[in-house]
């Protein structure tokens, strides 16, 4: 997990379930940075090659293959 309040990750994109098209793995064009989202809770960082998925509601099919940090 990363501390989103540290400032270290301000320019990184924050990809949430609302940014992922169901069952396609396509990232939508509505992604904002950590700073723009004003996040205050810890988030998981992903690396290239990771499969990222929404585990709370898997029936929504929110997943993608990470190609960038």
Full pLDDT tens readout for the chain, 69 residues: 999 999 999 999 999 999 999 999 999 999 999 999 999 999 999 999 999 999 899 999 999 999 986
pTM for this prediction: 0.85
Q: Are 21 and 60 in contact (CB under 8 A)?
A: no
Q: Are 66 and 51 in contact (CB under 8 A)?
A: yes
Q: Are 56 and 63 in contact (CB under 8 A)?
A: no
């Amino acid at each position: 997990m990363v501390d989103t309040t540290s400032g270290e990750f301000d320019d990184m994109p924050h990809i949430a379930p609302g940014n992922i098209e169901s069952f396609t793995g396509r990232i939508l064009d509505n992604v904002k940075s950590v700073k723009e989202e004003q996040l205050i809770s810890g988030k998981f960082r992903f690396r290239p090659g990771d499969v990222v998925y929404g585990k709370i509601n898997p029936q929504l099919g929110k997943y993608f293959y990470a190609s960038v940090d």
